[in-house]
Amino acid sequence: MRISHVDAVRRSQGTFERKTGGVQPGQHHNALGRFGPRPTPLQVRNALQLFACLQMIGPALRLARPALPAAVQGVPGGVQALPGAPDYRMLMEQDAPAPSALSGSLHTLGNGALGVCVVQPRQCGRAVLTTGVGMGISMLGSAMTGFGLGRLTAMDSAPAPAEEAQRSPQALHADEVLALLPPQAQTDVLEIVRECQGGEACATPRIHDVLARLPAVQQRALQCLMSESQLPALPEPDAASWPPGAQAQIPALDWMVQAAELLGGLDHAEQLQMQLDVEQISQATLDAKQHAALNRLGRRFDPAYERHINQARRAAICDRFEQDGWQLQEQAFLINATTDMGEPGLHNGRNLWLELAGPGPAERTLILMAHGDVAGIASRSSGAWENASGVAAVLALLRRFRDEGLPAGARVQVLITDLQQRGMIGAKAFVQQCLVDGTCPDLAVNLDRLGWGNALALSGTDRHALVSEALDFPEQRSARAVTALESSFAEQMRAAAPRFGLRLPDTAAWRLPSDQVALQREGVAALGVTQTTAGEMEHDIRFFEAREHMLAAEAAVDWAHYPEYNARQLEPQEQRAFRRQLDAWRNARNDFGAVGLPRAMRVPNSAEDQPDQVDARTALRVVDTVHAAAQVWLRQPAA
């Protein structure tokens, strides 16, 4: 049959006009760019390729998960570890575990096969087969590697020694459990242990009640902390007693009972309580400094800035006393006094005071002193050694007096002074007021810088003239008689110190420039107590002797003639005499610099003064010594 080409062309033209409306479609060729053809717009095929790429890099994106912010990683419910304690970082709502290397590899292979099937469907079967073989090889290799490492670990491991397996769980985990409790619960637990004197039958039920009162979120945090090492040892399974797998079916013990038993077995509760007091006061100081810096509350060297820090520190001290059931009374003062730099001025502050009284009228009064303020704020001093250690020692003594009771006629007072770092100003205000009111104590014992050293150092009234700082008038350095009560207390301390492992160095020229000096200058019996070493006491003596020599040489120079001496306008004889004065002063200054700073001058008011500078166990030796002396002194008949 003959085909008409004309008819075929007409039919094609009609189809073209129906579908395109008779308009020739535009020819969109890729324009050439500087580096070749420009990319084409997104099309169906391009979208499939993009999807395949995302599928293949998806596991990498999931593996590279961002770290949780620091605020989320903290211990839940506000339970914060103390400074120096272990840093427990746990989450209450456990996050999904990170995928293993094997699961990531399998996921990547599967996504690769899927990408091939999407982009090139004809090659899908081959891609699936290749992927299956690869997955099998990966799983087999992972299994063999794990088996080999397990065998190697089993061969290298050795059974634990018998004495290690029999260690008491209290020695392993009691301190860690205590560190996770909030401060008030820590205080309650330590108070219970101290009252029960190591009796677990007495302490465990009461500690259980303390744990039961904790918020649920803190209870869950403690429950997470309890480890298998705290469980009682179970017998090894054998064919006669334990069938295979029976040990795994033993129900877990009540964690709260278990934690109460651990805490009830603490044998150093007083030491932990003292360390807690030091850490809480020090941390409040650092927190106040950070708050002031963030809110721009004055400059670092501004007195108002330091006053803000010490207000927060005073509040922390009040809180430590209140948690033990004591209510400190604030004694505001306004006094005109000379600072330790020799500058007179008007000062206002707040001392803290309380009294513990025995039955009957007062016959003998002992006041325990410690300064509560801190300097060196700009250098990030926490005031732990100077003088949170002294405040904590006063608290420890007060607890003992409360537990055992005071004899008839005895009074024990507590004075936490303010502005000691400015020149014993708080102590000056107290002694001036008590002299006016006629309420001065029979003896004051000032505790300053405890928790370091093996020597007990006493600074009595006979040594106050050695202190030249913060003199309001020169006559204050006049010699004062040592009262019989002060001498008796010092002798009791010297007799008790060796029993508690403290040495008594014989350093007659040593003195303690602290708050007791303000009372001694006014004729009130006072005794300064600190803890140090014999070498440091000798270093102190050399330091202050060199300083006194330098100041005396400086005072001997007639500085009014220095301009004339410098211009060589003096007579030759006067010129030589002035040069000898300057040479003597320079030599004394060089000798003073060569002595170096003793620890008592180097650590306080510096960034080095942190809670790790205070050893609570060592500080308790001084507490034991003061307590033993006070027990005898308070029971002596009144003169």
- Of 65-74, 252-261, 263-272, 335-344, the poorest mean pLDDT is in 65-74
pLDDT in the model for residue 246: 47
In the chain, the amino acid numbered 116 is: V
How distant, in Å, are the alpha carbons of 30, 31, 43, 165, 188 from that of 36? 10, 9, 20, 75, 79
pLDDT in the model for residue 529: 97
Residue 459 has pLDDT above 60, yes or no: yes
Q: Which two tokens stand for residue 611?
A: 């809670």
Nearest to 505 by CA among 544, 533, 540, 539: 533
pLDDT in the model for residue 67: 45
Residue 464 has pLDDT above 50, yes or no: yes
Instruction: Report the Cα 107 to chain-centroid distance in Å.
Output: 46
Rounded Cα–Cα distance for residues 303 and 300 (Å): 8
pLDDT in the model for residue 152: 67
Rounded Cα–Cα distance for residues 199 and 191 (Å): 13
pLDDT in the model for residue 289: 85
How distant, in Å, are the alpha carbons of 64, 128, 318, 342 from that of 283? 36, 62, 14, 32
What band does 279 get if pLDDT is binned at 50, 70 and 90?
very high
Residue 19 has pLDDT above 70, yes or no: no
Instruction: Tell me what the pLDDT averaged over the chain comes to.
Output: 80
Residues pairing with 528 in the sheet: 446, 459
Query: Is the entire prediction scored with pTM above 0.85?
Result: no
Pairing assessment for the beta strands 526-532 and 443-447 based on DSSP bridges:
parallel
Nearest to 263 by CA among 222, 218, 304: 222
pLDDT in the model for residue 351: 97
Rounded Cα–Cα distance for residues 135 and 90 (Å): 35
Residue 172 has pLDDT above 50, yes or no: no
Q: What is the mean pLDDT of residues 507-516?
A: 91
Q: What is the mean pLDDT of residues 266-287?
A: 90
pLDDT in the model for residue 48: 56
pLDDT in the model for residue 21: 59
pLDDT in the model for residue 109: 72
Residue 368 has pLDDT above 90, yes or no: yes
Rounded Cα–Cα distance for residues 185 and 333 (Å): 35
In the chain, the amino acid numbered 424 is: M
Rounded Cα–Cα distance for residues 39 and 52 (Å): 19
Per-residue model confidence as pLDDT tens digits over 37-88: 555 554 555 555 665 556 556 555 554 444 444 433 333 333 333 333 333 3
Q: What is the mean pLDDT of residues 147-169?
A: 53
pLDDT in the model for residue 364: 94
DSSP symbols for 536-591? HHHHHHHHHHHHHHHHHHHHTS-GGGHHHHHTT-S-HHHHHHHHHHHHHHHHHHHH
Rounded Cα–Cα distance for residues 469 and 338 (Å): 9
Residue 163 has pLDDT above 50, yes or no: no
**Phi, psi (degrees; rounded to nearest 5) at 14:** -65, -40
- Of 205-209, 405-409, 634-638, the poorest mean pLDDT is in 634-638
Residue 203 has pLDDT above 60, yes or no: yes
Rounded Cα–Cα distance for residues 376 and 434 (Å): 30
Rounded Cα–Cα distance for residues 533 and 449 (Å): 12
- Of 191-200, 437-446, 462-471, the poorest mean pLDDT is in 191-200
Residue 303 has pLDDT above 50, yes or no: yes
pLDDT above 90 covers what percent of the chain? 46
Per-residue model confidence as pLDDT tens digits over 80-130: 333 333 333 333 334 445 556 667 777 777 777 777 777 677 777 777 788
Residue 486 has pLDDT above 50, yes or no: yes
How distant, in Å, are the alpha carbons of 205, 233, 529, 551, 563 from that of 560? 78, 84, 43, 17, 7
Most confident of 130-144, 299-313, 490-504: 490-504
- Of 196-200, 364-368, 530-534, 592-596, the poorest mean pLDDT is in 196-200
Nearest to 415 by CA among 345, 346, 354: 354
CB 228 within 8 A of CB 247: no
Rounded Cα–Cα distance for residues 125 and 131 (Å): 10
pLDDT in the model for residue 93: 38
3-state helix, strand, coil in the chain (%, to 5): 55, 10, 35
Task: Say which residues have a Cβ less than 8 Å from residue 637's Cβ, sequence separation at least 6.
Answer: none
Orientation angle between helical segments 183-196 and 269-294, nearest 10 degrees:
160
pLDDT in the model for residue 377: 66
**Which of 530 and 223 is assigned the larger pLDDT?**
530
